[in-house]
Structure 1
Amino acid sequence: MEIPHMYIFDIKTIALTVVFLVISSMMAVEFSRQVKKNTERKKRRIALYSMLLAFTFLLTHIFVIISSGVPFSTGNFYSFLLLFYAICSIGAYAAFSLAQREITNTPQYILTSLLIASSIMIAEYTAFFFIFSDAIEIHWTLTVLTSLMVSVTSFSLLRFLMQITNEDIYEFIKKYKYWGSVSGGIALGGIPYIVLSSMLPITEGAGIQSFLAPFIYMALANLFFMLVPDLFGEKLIMKNVQSHLSLFSHNPDSVFRVDLEGSIRNVNKEAVELTGYTANELTGLHFIELIGSSEEGKKIRKYYRKVLSGETKVIETTLKKADATFAEVRITAVRIIVKNTTVGVFGIVRDITEQKKADRLIEYLAYHDELTNLPNRRNLEKVMARLFIKDETFSLIYLDFDRFKRINDTFGHSFGDKILVQIGRELEKVIPESCLVARIGGDEFAILVTEGNKPEVVAADVVKAFQTPLYAGGMEFLITASLGIAHFPDDTNDLELLLKYADMAMYKAKENGTNNFQFFDESMADQDVNKFELENDLRNAINNDSLTVFYQPKYNSNTNEITGAEALARWKHPRHGMIPPGVFIPIAEEANLIVPLERMIIRQVFRQLVAWKEQKYEVPRTSINISIIHFYQEDFVKFMQKSLNEYDLVGELIEIEVTESIMIKKEDSINEQLQALREIGIEVSIDDFGTGYSSLSYLSKLSVDRLKIDQSFVSHSQENREIISTIVSMATNLKLKVIAEGVETESQIDLLKSLGCQEVQGYYYSPPLPSNEYETMMNREFLAN
């Protein structure tokens, strides 16, 4: 059969074939990138895209067969369709799958390219063998040439497809994607024609140029197609080199390139600035020489070995600078890999010295009190938890400073803060080094007493230390401490409960007259009451006038006669029984209930005085405690005068007791108030004298009648003999009366009498009494006289 071979190489036919295959190439590129971007159901996507691409190749080859002018067997046509489609689908699937990989070595790249070339050759030859079975005449020389050209096309195709698939889209890549698709389509478009040229007989008279034309076309197409991956690859290399140089040279962190032996080969300018060495001095230096200590050096060597084995980790260490100072740094190290071989390490070093300082400051502030710099509650709890884990015994001392609220109310919180700083310093001096003192809040502190130390000794030392006045702002203050002690694990193995138990014991110490310490016992837990509940109940008790007044008699120690009494608030709770003043008075102060509470007590005292007068008792003067807050109320004097008028009483029956702290604030206006009270017959007594503001120059200017020596001096009267004598002498010189409180023993009475203090008050004569018992005592004395 004579075949019109010339029609196979018709330019229009080849052009249309190329157009079809350019479209197929663009589809292949886009499909491959879509698979790379979308990792979900990857195999299913590759299979779908492979079937679509195989269909475009099938259509292209149907066009080639029909337009070639070569007779073909219609009987095998459908078999050709199925077989060609199947082979193309398999080849496309293999190409898509391989394009997703990073092929890093030449043999693997060659084998993959040959696999693609073989798929193309098998598909082409098998298809044409079936369809042109009647006209097959194999030319082996041309077949070998065809195989070489198809292999060259496969090399270029695979390289381009891998490049375009595995690179991010930059602007220049978009351009190369289209150029590569067009040149690839042109190269692929020649393959069916060179395959046909190697399989079909040559027509006589056609000439050598006739059958060489497809091969010349393929040679030119392959040459053009090879340029695209080469140019594209060069562009990518330049991009990667520039990225590398930018990362290295313009990195805000220090970058060191280190070889496998650990010697520094290159550094950026930030590394020079960090270390203080020049680039030449750093080059050739072993990185260990920049590490701070031998221990750190061992740690870094171990880290370096792990990095070389493939681990990418971050480590923090110290770096020794050229000037012998140190910087704290964070190192991120990654391997440098060239052709699958590790050739060195990049160390990215960040100076974190300031960050570490900030972190340490934050941690310090988190675990220390900002005002006193003592450990705070969080720190205390952490240490307690550590001892708990170690199963070590310890004691907890909870302490609160008596009368501190008066300082805050009188001088303000800023001045109170200065006192707290002084308190913190004193506590640090007193407690053993192995113990921990912490500020819990306000004027509350805690001491953790470790094994080997006796908590009662530590507590006694603290009590003794604060019997000496503190100095702040040019003034002297006596602020005594009340302490509570709880043991771990004897009292409880619950750390939170331990704090609570120590707090309960501290309140018990306050109830027992302050300036002492108490151990926790189980009975205290039974008496514990919720403070919020107490606050509400106290407010209701004040509103309902359900607090009562007890009276503690005052005596002349020479005649043993009653000279008066001090009215003291007492609260019998309906569920909890008698609530000590040391508990509810602070609650009243914190809840702003102290003014209504004291006014309720004043009215109760006035009613009682009226009742006693109606019974014809000669009632001596009764003193009532007035807080600083109450005294500073603008209507205080008017309230007292109005109340006296309301109950038809004279001022000579009343004495008010205020602390010496009132002498600091608004001296002129305070003096006016004091004088106004004295003008209506009310006497004024300075309570707790000697424990607060001690600039006695104010005393001569103020309108007061009596000084009350504080019980803290009386309880240690022999030790404080000179202080008591000074107070009595000063009062005598200023023509003031003097009284001592807290008298409990005969020896105290004798000492006070010898120093000239005759008026006394305390348990030696009588505790505070309900009104009826005090009335009985007055009646007995009245009858005796």
Structure 2
Amino acid sequence: MNVFFYFNILDIGVVAILAILTCKLGFEYSTKIKRVTDKKEMKKKLLLFSSVVGLGFWSIYTYACLSLDVPIVTETNYILFLFVFLLCFLGAYFTLFMAKAKEFKWWRYIIASIVVSIMFIGITTIGYWWTFRELIYFKPVSFSISCLIIVTCIFKLMKFLRQITNEDEEVVKKSWLNIGAILCGVSISGIPYLLLTSLLDFKGVLQYEYKDYAYLLPFLYPMLSNFLLMILPDIISDRMLSTTTVKYKSLFSHNPNAVFSVDLKGKIMDVNKETLKLVGYCREELIGKELFSILQPNLDKQSIIKKVKSGSIEDVETVIVTKDQRAVDIKITTMRIVINNETIGYYGIAKDITEDKKAKQMIHKLAFYDELTGLYNRRKLMEILNLWAANGEEFHILLLDFDRFKRINDSFGHGFGDDLLKEIALKLKHVTGNKGVVGRLGGDEFLIMIPLTETQDGYLEELVNCFRKPLNVEGVDVISTASIGISTHPHHSTNITELVKYADIAMYHTKENGSNGYSFFSESMLDNKFKNIAIENELRYAIDHNQISVYLQPKYNMVNGELIGAESLARWNHCTQGMIAPNIFIPLAEEIGEIDRLEKNMIKEVCGILSTWKKKGKRIHQTSINISLPTLLHDGFINFVSHTLVENKIDGTFLEFEITERIVMKYEVEVNSRLQQLRNMGIEISIDDFGTGYSSLSYLYKLEVDRLKIDKMFVDQCVENSEVVSTIISMAKALGLQVIAEGVEDEDQIRILKKLGCIEAQGFYFSRPVPHGEFEQLLEEYSTADF
């Protein structure tokens, strides 16, 4: 009988199945280990997976030995089996360890293949010698050919392992893994039988003879599987290359941004169609052109190339000059082109950021500049004041209020008043020049910061005198003299808030003494504050006895004319002085620490009104209430609101709390937490007077708010200049916020607001604030109107 048929086909099949399963586990474990980032976790998995795969290879050898119809010379083989398992474990550990390497270099590939081959040959040879040592008949030629076939098999197996662990899993489909496992398993299963034909004495001891070329048959089995295993990685490589090429072309050619490749000399190698659109050149004009020749000249070419070579990916904002000499702002992200671990160039992904920069400039302008005059706003002024104070500089704070401005504004209209403020701003900048800093606090109040040394040459007199002359506004000569209050750092205080307050007191002192001049703050001016003690006591009494009334100003949907809610406003009808303006008693309440009680009374009153309407079966609309920072941060405020809602049996969705931007700038974390708790009750949060000098745009996306209220100042200007309102509305929509405009007074404003996408509004055009009794009648009489 031929020696090839000495082996049982069924036993060979079992060994092949064991080998296939072991290879499949090895491939799967290799890809899993590759994804592990934690070192401790990787060690654990490496030991576990190596034990399982090692056990698989041990079972292949053990079954192959026990399945032979050959007398085993050594009866007790426990030590041998343990030794073989140890070698199998080490071989599996070494293979998986090499497979997890991020970069599988060629020398690692060769060393790993040789080491694993030696382990396979050593395990089998030593094991057979120990088990069948009296039957061993060493045939050098056959053994050499067997070893060569085994080494070839292991090299192919390691190559396949490298591919599946270093390529995209979407490319290496599960079917390819299964095919690879089958071919590798079949090749490995032939190793025990291949070496047996080179080591056992079939003719002398086992009485089996070779006939003709039959001695080649045991070699054909692994050789055929090796041939198939050699083809498989190439097929996968071609598929990977094809897929990668398609992906690259798609990423390069169909990228919405401009993409180009550049060599290390800075010359353009390739571009996509978006690059051509961006610069206006044709492809032939760009290929080979120096990239830095069309970028702004202040870029450091050598520095950028050096960073690219070192692997530092960097975003560079620069300007590219198009063929028609237009300057376009772009941001370039650079990435190395690495082939065989050598950087040969880099890719650049360029994005046109011209509009983004304009938007950033607009947002910066909103945040730090007064939109009407272009001067610094309150926020920026306070930053500069604090910086000067921190640097220990000596300076004056000049607070200016313009006499007769309100009367001029009322007589000629808000547009004329705005033009007057612009002329005032120009005059202040002209007189001050580079001596100091000029800004607008709001309304007709301006602030100048100027070093002490700059006021010693008649600056103050010049400042006062320049406003004694008429200003020409729309062809009309207008005189609006300035009343100025001055405080000094550090003479009067080192606290900026106090200094501004002292300048304000000095300014009112100037007004009380005839206006049209300036006064330096003095301690004696504080004595006048005691005159307000009586009104303070009366305000406390009014709050204690609920003499502050609730007025309601309706809110409307400008598209369909539907009444959608109201804003509650505090009104104080003094027993002797009549109606006292809110801009007088509300700041006073804040100053004397009564604002918390005043606003809680408002919440109680509004909830009581809504509860009454609910009992009467009337439709309840959402009503907003203004809330200050002291009230919001009061320890018992959240519980108070919850208790009030329960007591009046109304839902939180009927309320909206309006906060000012000043609240945003302080205690950000605590304020946000409180706002979220209120929203959890169903209460909506609105930012009132958005953009009027305390804009905190960097905080806006973090805040737990629902709505922005466009300040009347911007609404007044929206017909002539709608950019600011448009920006606020776009910003709000991008952040998922609703928008309402306040202070709407005419149909032109309504037309522009609706065109810009603002739906909700309130203002004198619709209705002035009215007592809640009149508002109740409005609910009964109201019908939709066409705005």
TMscore range, shorter length: 0.5 to 0.7
User: Which residue of structure 2 lines up, in the alignment, with residue 206 of structure 1?
Assistant: 210
Cα deviation per residue 1:506-529 (whole Å; 9 max; x = unaligned)?
Answer: 122223232221112244457667
Q: Is the 8 A contact 2:2 2:214 kept in 1?
A: no
CA distance in 1 between partners of 2:573 and 2:421 (Å):
24
TM-score, scaled relative to structure 1? 0.65
State how far apart, in whole Å, the 1-side matches of 2:67 and 2:157 are: 26
Farther-moved stretch of structure 1 (131-140 vs 397-406): 397-406
CA distance in 1, matches of 2:137, 2:363: 88
Q: Alpha-carbon deviation of 1:302? A: 1.0
Equivalents in 2 of 1:451, 1:274: separation in Å? 53
- 1:463, CA displacement in angstroms? 3.0
* Alignment partner of 1:247 out of 235, 251, 267: 251
Letter of the structure 1 residue corresponding to residue 333 of structure 2: T
Of 4, 8, 11, 1:10 maps to 8
Q: Could you tell me the percent identity over the aligned residues?
A: 33
* TM alignment of 1:118-137, pairs within 5 A: 118-137=118-137
User: Which residue is 2:193 aligned to?
Assistant: 193
Structure 1 moving runs of 4+ over 6 Å: 409-412, 473-476, 541-544
- Aligned in 2, Cα 1:7/1:67: closer, same or farther, shift over 3 Å? farther
Question: C-alpha displacement at 1:462, in angstroms?
Answer: 3.6
CA spacing shift, 1:303–1:352, aligned 2, 3 Å = same
Q: 1:598 aligns with which of 577, 582, 585?
A: 577
How far does residue 320 in structure 1 lie from its aligned partner after superposition? 2.1
Distance in 1 (CA, whole Å) between partners of 2:457 and 2:91 is 91
> Partners of 1:597 and 1:542 in 2: how far apart?
13
Paired amino acid for 2:355: E
Q: Does 1:278 find its partner at 2:282? A: yes
Whether the aligned pair in 1 keeps the contact of 2:4 and 2:218 (CA below 8 Å) is: no
Superposed CA offset, 1:665-693 (max 9, x none): xxxxxxxxxxxxxxxxxxxxxxxxxxxxx
Change (3 A) 1:527 1:73: farther
Structure 2 CA distance for aligned equivalents of residues 410 and 538 of structure 1: 34
The question of 1:230 aligning with 2:234 is answered yes
Preserved contact between residue 281 and residue 323 of structure 2 (Cα < 8 Å): yes
Moved more, 175-184 or 466-475: 466-475
Confirm or deny that 1:165 pairs with 2:169: no
Could you tell me which amino acid in structure 2 is paired with residue 16 of structure 1?
V
Distance 1:164 1:52, change over 3 A: same
The aligned residue for residue 223 of structure 2 is 219
Partner of 1:366: 367
**CA separation in 1, counterparts of 2:21 and 2:247?**
34
Conserved? CA contact 2:164–2:172, under 8 Å: no
SS at match of 1:318: strand
Task: Summarize deviations over 1:548-574 as a string: whole Å, max 9, x none.
Answer: xxxxxxxxxxxxxxxxxxxxxxxxxxx
1:662 matched residue in structure 2: none
Listed one character per residue, the Cα deviations across residues 202-253 of structure 1 (whole Å, up to 9, x for unaligned) are 3253325443222111110100111111111111111222222222222222
Structure 1 residues 287, 511: closer, same or farther in 2, change over 3 A?
Answer: same
> d(CA) in 2 for partners of 1:138 and 1:475?
120
Q: Hey, what's the Cα distance between the residues in 1 that align with 2:147 and 2:579?
A: 115
Indicate the larger mover: 429-438 or 503-512.
429-438
1-structure distance, mates of 2:574, 2:407? 15
Instruction: For residues 241-300 of structure 1, give each alpha carbon's deviation from its aligned partner in whole angstroms, at most 9, with x where no partner exists.
Output: 22222222222222221112222111112222222222211111222212222xx13x23
- Indicate whether 1:337 and 2:338 are aligned: yes
Deviations 1:82-105 (A, max 9, x none): 011110000001111111124454
Q: Deviations over 1:346-395 (max 9, x none)?
A: 12222212211221222122111112222212222333344445544332
C-alpha distance in structure 1 between counterparts of 2:535 and 2:421, whole Å: 27
Aligned pair in 2 of structure 1 residues 427, 43: CA closer, same or farther (>3 Å)? Answer: same
Deviation digits for residues 304-328 of structure 1 (CA, Å, limit 9, x no counterpart): 2121122222222222222222222
Match of 1:501, as an amino acid? Y
What does residue 29 of structure 2 align with?
31
What amino acid does structure 2 have at the position aligned with 1:482?
A: S
Which amino acid is the alignment partner of residue 176 of structure 1? W
8 Å contact from structure 2 (residues 482, 515) kept in 1: yes
User: For 1:75, what is the secondary structure of its paired residue?
Assistant: coil
Q: Report deviation, 1:185.
A: 1.0
Q: Is the 8 A contact 1:535 1:591 kept in 2?
A: no
What is residue 351 of structure 1 aligned with on the other side? 352
Match of 2:537 in 1: 537
Distance in structure 2 (CA, Å) of the matches to 1:279 and 1:315: 24
Indicate conservation of the 8 Å contact 2:395/2:450, yes or no: yes
Change (3 A) 1:463 1:534: farther
Q: Are residues 316 and 236 of structure 1, via their aligned partners in 2, closer, same or farther at CA, if it must alter by over 3 Å?
A: same
Aligned residue type for 2:13: A
| Contact 2:571/2:579 (8 A) holds in 1 | no
Partner residue of 2:266? Answer: 262
User: Residues of 2 paired with 1:236 and 1:526: CA distance?
Assistant: 87
Partner letter of residue 11 of structure 1?
I
Amino acid of the structure 1 residue aligned with 2:247: S
Seen in structure 2, the aligned counterparts of structure 1 residues 381 and 111 have a Cα distance that, compared at 3 Å, is same
Q: 1:165 to 1:501 in 2, by over 3 A?
A: same
Distance 1:198 1:356 in 2: 78
Distance in 1 (alpha carbons) for counterparts of 2:290 and 2:438: 48
Aligned 8 A contact 2:321 2:328 in 1: yes
CA apart distance, 1:191: 0.9
Q: Measured at CA, do residues 239 and 384 of structure 1 come closer, stay the same or move farther in structure 2, by a change above 3 Å?
A: same
1:98-113 mapped onto 2 (5 Å cutoff):
98-113=98-113
Do 2:25 and 2:53's aligned partners in 1 also have CA atoms closer than 8 Å?
A: yes
Partner in structure 2 of residue 85 of structure 1 = 85
Deviations 1:575-621 (A, max 9, x none): xxxxxxxxxxxxxxx986587543599xxxxxxxxxxxxxxxxxxxx
What residue identity is the alignment partner of 1:328?
Answer: D
- In structure 2, distance between residues paired with 1:540 and 1:146: 105
Secondary structure of residue in 1 paired with 2:289: coil
* Structure 2 counterparts to residues 549-564 of structure 1, below 5 A: none
Classify 1:540/1:340 alpha carbon distance in 2 versus 1 (closer, same or farther; 3 Å).
closer
Residue correspondence of structure 1 range 46-57 to structure 2 within 5 A: 46-57=46-57
| 1:57 positional shift | 2.0
Partner of 1:618: none
Q: CA deviation at 1:417?
A: 3.8
* Match in the other structure for 1:397: 398
User: Within 2, Cα distance between the matches of 1:382 and 1:332?
Assistant: 34
Deviation at 1:484, TM superposition (A): 0.7
Is structure 2 residue 138 aligned with structure 1 residue 138? yes
C-alpha distance in structure 2 between counterparts of 1:481 and 1:403, whole Å: 9
SS in 1 for 2:454: coil
Aligned-pair CA distance for 1:535: 6.3
Structure 1 segment 227-626 matched on structure 2, within 5 A: 227-293=231-297, 296-297=298-299, 299-388=300-389, 391-406=392-407, 416-450=417-451, 452-454=453-455, 457-468=458-469, 478-524=479-525, 536-539=536-539, 593=572, 596-599=575-578
- CA displacement, residues 454-503 of structure 1 (integer Å, 9 cap, x when unaligned): 17944333433333455667876543322111223333333333322222
Q: CA deviation at 1:534?
A: 7.9
Distance 2:76 2:55 in 1: 19
Cα distance in 2 between the residues matched to 1:170 and 1:543: 72
Give the C-alpha shift of residue 79 in structure 1: 1.7
Distance 1:349 1:451 in 2: 50
Change (3 A) 1:14 1:457: same
Which residues of 2 match residues 695-706 of structure 1 at below 5 A? none
Alignment check: 8 A CA contact 2:4 2:217 kept = no
C-alpha spacing 1:371/1:591, structure 2 compared with 1 (3 Å): farther
Cα displacement (A) at 1:194 = 0.6
Distance 1:593 1:383 in 2: 38
